[in-house]
Chains A and B, each alone.
Chain A
Amino acid sequence: MGLRGDAAIVGMFEYRPERKYGGERVFMLEQWADLAAGALADAGLRSCDVNGLVCANIRESEQFVPSTVAEYLGWRVNFAERVDLGGATPIGMVWRAAAAIELGLCDVVVCAAPSRPTPSLPPNQPRAWSPFGASSNIMGSPQAEFDIPYGNIAQNCGYAMIANRYGAEFGYDPRATAKIAADQRTNACANPDAVFFGQPITIEDVLASKMVADPLHVLEIVMPCAGGAAVVVASKEVARRCRKRPVYVTGFGEHLMHKSPTYSPDLLHTPIGPAAEQAFGMAAIKRSDVDAVQLYDCYTITVLMSIEDSGFCAKGEGMSFVAAHDLTYRGDFPVNTHGGQLGFGQPGLAGGFTQVTEAVRQVRGEAGGHQVPGCEVVYCSGTGGIMSEQTALIVQGG
């Protein structure tokens, strides 16, 4: 079942993450154009080579986003998708592109997530973003009726409740989750592009940082920033004439369980479990074949449960696994070698792209000071909502 592994990521382009964006503000369609041009240049492909696109939401249009993007960029495409999986979106984009290519629908697909601030709109314009974040406060939405009136809004408290339930079941070691943040910060300090470059932290720093929603400290919570990314996925025939080493997509998985974790069938086993199982089966590799993992890290608890449920250690042993392993780029179990979204930054919807672009960089051998030597196989994960939906991706050098 699944991919043959004949599609590859051949190009990518990323805006450097910035905590305070001071540059020119342009609309998301315009960012789409800049990101696509950058990724195609990296691949050595031309705009007229593109015959597929995968997008997410853009501020300028609530619907018909794929055709709006195609028109703006001057593309005629055989395959166009809009993915709506929150932080799991970028991996969702890449596997859809790879699948469409293997089906023969297209051979060059651009996926992008612009996430820089856009120009401010005059007051008579509709507000595109809701103050309820990922929660829907529209009448008829279950969240609007049963969650939001209690103040259960946005992400922090949901993840905190997942962490507390995990702790009640398996035990909670605050030093272990803090170590995830500290080790990833070490990686960020080896990556000049990271927003926290030059600012190392210790486990004690994390534990001493402000409590936001028990048991989550502020240093265990992702750092929002401006940014954006695009990747080009192409057939192996196209990949052969591209500038950079192709990074093949050999396995993927996707699993959705709930919108609000209150109604999850199981809060302790996250959706990455079945997604990872499918991805490893498809790629026909073992967990021990993986050279680095890039795990969606909105919170430290997400990383911990993703390590467990992806099968890198037994269920319930994540805390001791993290304590026993060096998660840095020079360690025995490298995690989020770019610093992760905790250390590199979370550029909005493109946050999940940082896990993918870092995997590409590692396999290409372009990771500079945070390169994992001989990195050929990388496992990535994406997470949307409140552990609502997760995606898994395996990429390998050819």
Chain B
Amino acid sequence: MPAIEGRPRPAPIATSKPFWDALKEEKVRLQRCGDCEAWVYYPRRRCPSCLSAALEWRQVSGRGRIYSWTIGRQATHPAFGADVPQLLAMVELDEGVRLTTTIVNAEPTDLVVGRLVEPVFEHGEDGMTLLQFQPVAGSG
């Protein structure tokens, strides 16, 4: 687990707490709209497709594909200096939502648009768990 001293960490709010709580249990939970059936990420008070408040939490596999990626060769912020090169990505989950993340257990050459990835749960000393991803073995 990388050092998190001085590093910005998520501060959950009431709306997002179920998402972060699920990550602590190594589960990925997303909101789904009970009216228009859209999947929602990041967690919101109302559905960004129809503004319905009928959002329900559903557990999902957390698997998806790299939608895009980059390699930060200079730290994006001093607190991330130890992570350079930073393997940054947008991952599109099977449900179609995209999230910002980092790819772990991978080399820079593993970063390819469309690559299958699966969740890795990074449990921090502060009690927060980040949702990272790693390439699915044999999915080159």
Using a CB–CB cutoff of 8 Å, the interface residues on chain A facing chain B are: 131-132, 137, 139-140, 142, 144-154, 156-157, 160-162, 164-165, 167-168, 210-214, 216, 260-263, 267
Are the C-beta atoms of B69 and A164 separated by less than 8 Å? Answer: yes
Q: Scoring B residues 112 to 140 as 1 if CB is less than 8 Å from chain A, else 0, what string do you get?
A: 01100000000000001010100000000
Kindly state the separation between the CA atoms of A149 and B8 in the bound complex, as whole angstroms.
Answer: 5
Alpha-carbon gap, A164 to B136, bound state (A): 21
Asked whether any CB of chain A lies closer than 8 Å to the CB of B31, the reply is no
B74 CB–A CB distance under 8 Å: yes
Min CB distance, A209 to chain B, in Å?
12
**Closest residue of chain A to B88, judged by CB?**
A157
Kindly state the interface size class of chain B when it binds its partner: 35 or more
Contacts of A162 on B, CB cut-off 8 Å? 68
Q: 1/0 contact trace for B60-85 toward A, CB 8 Å?
A: 00000001111111111100100100
Taking A146-B42, A157-B70, A213-B71 as known contacts, 17 extra A-B pairs with beta carbons closer than 8 A to each other, sorted by chain A number, are A132-B77, A139-B11, A144-B11, A146-B100, A149-B8, A153-B80, A154-B76, A156-B72, A161-B89, A164-B68, A165-B67, A168-B68, A168-B114, A212-B73, A214-B73, A262-B90, A267-B68
A-B interface contact total, Cβ < 8 Å = 106
Chain B residues within an 8 Å CB radius of A212: 73-74
Contact A145 B73 (CB under 8 A): no
Does B58 interact with chain A (Cβ within 8 Å)? no
Distance in angstroms between the alpha carbons of A161 and B76 in the assembled complex: 14
What is the chain B residue whose CB lies nearest that of A161?
B68
Interface pair B98/A262, CB less than 8 Å apart: yes
A146 touches B10 (CB 8 A): yes
Given A157-B70, A157-B88, A168-B113, A149 contacting B130 (CB threshold 8 A): yes
Q: List 20 A-B contacts (CB under 8 A).
A: A131-B77, A140-B13, A145-B12, A147-B100, A150-B130, A151-B102, A153-B80, A156-B76, A157-B76, A161-B68, A161-B69, A161-B88, A162-B68, A165-B67, A165-B68, A165-B90, A213-B70, A214-B70, A214-B73, A267-B67
Q: Which residues of A contact B68 (CB under 8 A)?
A: 161-162, 164-165, 168, 267
What's the Cα separation between A262 and B64 when bound, in Å?
Answer: 14
The interface residues of chain A lying within 8 Å CB-to-CB of B130 are 149-150
